[in-house]
């Protein structure tokens, strides 16, 4: 029987987004504050996902050995380092979160049965790499606060209460919605980026956070005048709002996850028409394995 196991590790390091072939003004325009000398730092959190058969001792791998491999091949080399100079590949391609995840995969894959590398730059930004060439995933986490009422306009109050319970009460109720937007793309061999991160953040803010924040969704967002704003419908609408703006950043929207409360969340994927179903399903299963 196959299982996926996870090992967590962490390291603290600094990096700088700077290309010597560009002028100072061009670097500033391209990378913003991240181009400043001598760089900036993060407390990185790494999750290593491995798959294998259970052995006679009830383990996929000996975690003590896994810990040793991760430490010797990755964290001992990157901890308290300046990433741009830590590994040779970071001198050719900038050490963005997505490129660091890919580089870690290459260091660990000869030793461990990897299915996924997930690297958090901070709690609101992380990358996933699944070993598929130059393709990687980047997730931005944000939030908005809004109220809603769950009720179909064609049903009576009693009928709505039967379906939606307390959520059908006339004055509605509110949530602090937690939103995670995952984009995918090819890692640029020079910048290390799958998309312009600032542009992705701007698209999310302009098309979702600003319009949705501190609203009564049923009344303030035209789409929900006829569509019941369940967490599922909100996530679907956010997906539709973001697909084109995200495409304009150079990446593709992969997934929208909306956490309505600690007890209630949903996620919707964006399937590319020309993408093989089997490959897509495998990636989605791995990405949803947390």
Measure Cα distances from 44 to 3, 92, 101, 109, 125 in Å.
Answer: 26, 21, 11, 20, 10
Q: Do domains 1-131 and 134-290 have the same CATH topology?
A: yes
> CA-CA distance, 4 to 119, in Å (whole number)?
17
Going from N- to C-terminal start, the domains of the chain cover: 1-131, 134-290
Is 260 a known active-site residue?
yes
Sort strands 135-148 and 252-261 into parallel, antiparallel or unpaired: unpaired
> CA-CA distance, 154 to 152, in Å (whole number)?
5
Q: What is the mean pLDDT of residues 248-254?
A: 95
> CA-CA distance, 211 to 232, in Å (whole number)?
18
Fold (CATH) for 1-131:
Tetrahydropterin Synthase; Chain A (3.30.479)
Catalytic member of 3, 214, 248, 272: 214
Question: How does DSSP assign 37-80, residue by residue?
Answer: TT-EEEEEEEEEEEEEE--TTS-SS-HHHHHHHHIIIIIHHHTT
pLDDT tens for 119-159 read 999 999 999 999 999 999 999 999 999 999 999 999 999 99
> CA-CA distance, 117 to 66, in Å (whole number)?
14
Q: Is the pLDDT of residue 271 over 90?
A: no
Contact by Cβ (8 Å): 191, 96: yes
| Of 135, 143, 113, residue with least CA distance to 53 | 113
Task: Output 219-228 pairs: Cβ under 8 A, ≥24 positions apart.
Answer: 224/148, 226/153, 228/150, 228/151, 228/152
> Exposed (0-12), middle (13-18) or buried (19+): which is 201, by Cβ within 10 Å?
middle
Catalytic member of 51, 111, 167, 284: 167
> CA-CA distance, 239 to 202, in Å (whole number)?
15
Catalytic member of 98, 121, 180, 260: 260
pLDDT tens for 158-196 read 999 999 999 999 999 999 999 999 999 999 999 999 999
If pLDDT is split at 50, 70 and 90, which confidence band does 278 have? Answer: very low
Q: Is the pLDDT of residue 290 over 90?
A: no
CATH architecture observed for domain 134-290: 2-Layer Sandwich (3.30)
Measured CA angle at 182 (ends 180, 184), to 5 deg: 175
pLDDT tens for 48-69 read 999 999 998 899 999 999 999 9
Instruction: Tell me the average pLDDT of the chain.
Output: 94
pLDDT tens for 186-225 read 999 999 999 999 999 999 999 999 999 999 999 999 999 9
């Amino acid at each position: 029987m196959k299982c996926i196991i996870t090992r967590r590790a962490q390291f603290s390091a600094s990096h700088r987004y700077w290309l010597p072939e560009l002028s100072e003004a061009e670097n500033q325009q391209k990378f913003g504050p991240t181009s400043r000398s001598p760089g900036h730092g993060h407390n990185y959190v790494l999750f290593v996902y491995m798959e294998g058969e259970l052995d006679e001792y009830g383990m996929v791998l000996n975690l003590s050995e896994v810990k040793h491999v991760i430490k010797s091949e990755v964290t001992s080399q990157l901890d308290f380092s300046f990433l741009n100079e830590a590994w040779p590949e970071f001198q050719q391609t900038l050490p963005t979160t997505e490129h660091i995840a890919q580089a870690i995969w290459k260091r660990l894959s000869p030793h461990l049965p990897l299915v996924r590398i997930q690297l958090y730059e901070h709690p609101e930004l992380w990358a996933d790499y699944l070993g598929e060439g130059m393709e990687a995933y980047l997730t931005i986490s944000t939030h908005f606060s809004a109220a809603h009422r769950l009720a179909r306009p064609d049903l009576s109050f009693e009928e709505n209460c039967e379906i939606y319970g307390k959520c059908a009460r006339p004055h509605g109720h509110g949530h602090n919605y937690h939103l995670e937007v995952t984009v995918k793309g090819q890692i640029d061999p020079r910048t290390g980026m799958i998309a312009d991160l600032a542009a992705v953040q701007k698209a999310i803010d302009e098309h979702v956070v600003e319009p949705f924040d501190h609203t009564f969704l049923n009344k303030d967002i035209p789409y929900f005048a006829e569509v019941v704003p369940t967490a599922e419908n909100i996530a679907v609408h956010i997906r539709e709002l973001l697909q084109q703006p995200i495409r304009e950043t150079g990446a593709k929207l992969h997934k929208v996850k909306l956490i309505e409360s600690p007890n209630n969340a949903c996620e919707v994927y964006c399937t590319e028409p020309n993408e093989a179903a089997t490959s897509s399903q495998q990636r989605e299963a791995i990405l949803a394995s947390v």
